[in-house]
Amino acid sequence: MRTRLLAVVVVAALALAGCTSDSSTTTAVSGPLCDELPKGDEPGNPTALASEPVDQALQWITVLTTFEGALRASELVPELEGKKAITVLAPSDDAFMAKFSQDNLDELMIKDKDTLRTLLRAHIVDRSLSLADLRDADSVTTLDGTTVKVGEADKMARIGDEATTVCADYRIANGRVHVINHVLGNLPTTAGQGDSGH
């Protein structure tokens, strides 16, 4: 049997949205983790993402693979893209690994999407907030209805009791993305349970 393709796309035509950088305006991100992410002229650099919709932008922020997959699985993207402005407080892959076991993550992403949606709403604010805004504010209300205390933490912003921003001020088409170092919300920690290896 010959290969049958789900979709025929010419390799050369691969969309490289993250590669297009507009030299006239550059986006400055800040935080200790920014150095680990695409920068300068590299594909996925912050300037290249500034006009991307949230789902596309997240695909270029290399420490957000878990969050990005979870957001797709949650089917919340159309709702977020329909909003005038949003702030995404996106936990890094390390943060997810420290929070959930593999099995728990699969459970959330595959079977328990209501819980997943609630979890993700706890990471999104209904207006665009810069790092400076977060540092200046006392609290923000996330889409799940929770009020989260925010404030200064060195040059970064503190989010809730545990999290701080680690690479802040990514611009996207309708708002901002800040990478944070802890998962928000109130789900129990399951990391380290039932890791059965390969």
Q: Residue 18 Cβ, how far from other proteins at the closest point, in Å?
A: 6
Which of 18, 31, 46, 160 is in the footprint of other proteins by CB under 8 A? 18
Sign of CA dihedral 171, 117, 134, 80: positive
CA distance 57 to 68: 9
183 contacts 91 by C-beta, under 8 angstroms: yes
Q: Which residues are CB-neighbours of 62 under 8 A, at least 6 positions away? A: 36, 37, 38, 44
Q: Name the residue nearer to other proteins (CB basis): 37 or 88.
A: 37
Q: Is residue 4 close enough to count as binding Zn ion by CB under 5 A?
A: no
Which of 2, 4, 84, 198 is in the footprint of Zn ion by CB under 5 A? 198
- Residues 76 to 135 in contact with other proteins, rule: CB under 8 A: 97, 102-103, 105-107, 109-111
Q: Applying CB under 5 A, which part among 109-117, 126-134, 144-152, 190-198 lies near Zn ion?
A: 190-198
Q: Applying CB under 8 A, which part among 57-65, 121-129, 136-144, 145-153 lies near other proteins?
A: 57-65
Query: Computed over its alpha carbons, how large is the radius of gyration of the chain?
Result: 17
Q: Is residue 197 close enough to count as binding other proteins by CB under 8 A?
A: yes
CA-closest candidate to residue 94, choices 46, 32, 47, 17:
32
Residue whose pair of structure tokens reads 């709702």 in the numeric block: 79
Choose from Zn ion, other proteins, none: what does 65 bind? Cβ within 5-8 Å by kind: other proteins
Which residues bind to Zn ion, rule: CB under 5 A? 198
